[in-house]
Amino acid sequence: MSFLDHLEEMRWRIIRSLIVVVAATVVSFFFSRQLLDFLTRPAACLHPAPKIIFLSPIGMFTVRLTTSLVAGIILSLPLILYQLWCFIAPGLLEKERRYLPKVLLFSSLCFLAGAALAYFVVVPMALRFLIGMATPQVQPQFDIGRYISFILKLIVAFGVLFELPVFSYFLTQMGILTPQFLKRKRVYAIVFIFLIAAILTPPDVFSQILMALPLILLYEVSIWISALVERGKSDGISIDVDG
């Protein structure tokens, strides 16, 4: 294919992905009440539970639309990854093409695992700590827009960053990554992790630490996985994620 043909192919892949996202967002909007109930449950389970309010006439509409859009993107992720796979697969070597479907599958699973950790563990801990800063004279009231933004940032960020071990496995299998490289860059990675945590979390140190510590652990797990894969390759053993 010529360069212009590649651009045309990419354009149609993007259009198809956007159509799927829009359709999933519209469907999600009809369930926005249930989505909001789900996202506000961590705050409602606190003792005492903070009051959640909205401060502008269009506040709830904006929140429902934002929540539906994020849900639509997450629901569309398998089809988006499929479109990505269809676009790049023709340009890959046979060995790389064999690994890519597994990358897409396990990336989706790791995203869900990271999102679940954020929702069930990190968010409740962060909320308990932050609400614990209240005094008898100053009681917590959450604006729904800022609260949902806080929750979604943590869920999406953990979902994306939890894919690090999966990419470490497959990049090492493809000969692109080595455990030696990861070990040499450990200090830079830790600094980068804290920088990412500072950008993606609210401006409080506790939330940043809650995000940074699991990511540092994930980086160490990635080094171990990369070393295990390299050892298996040097011994002539194929380590397959299919068991």
- Residues in the chain, overall count: 243
pLDDT of the chain along its 243 residues, tens only? 666 777 888 888 889 899 999 999 999 999 999 999 999 998 888 877 888 888 888 889 999 999 999 999 888 888 887 787 777 777 666 766 676 677 777 777 888 888 888 899 888 888 888 787 777 777 788 889 889 988 888 888 888 888 888 878 877 877 778 888 888 888 888 888 888 777 766 666 777 787 788 888 888 888 898 888 888 777 654 445 444
pLDDT score, position 243: 43
Q: What is the pTM of this model?
A: 0.75
Query: Tokens at residue 37, please?
Result: 């109930």
Contact 142, 50 (CB under 8 A): yes
Helix residue ranges, H only, 122-163: 123-131, 144-161
| Amino acid of residue 149 | S
Question: For residue 138, what are the β-bridge partners?
Answer: 135
Q: What is the pLDDT of residue 35?
A: 92
What's residue 194's pLDDT? 84
Task: Please tell me the predicted confidence (pLDDT) of residue 79.
Answer: 85
The pLDDT value given to residue 19: 94
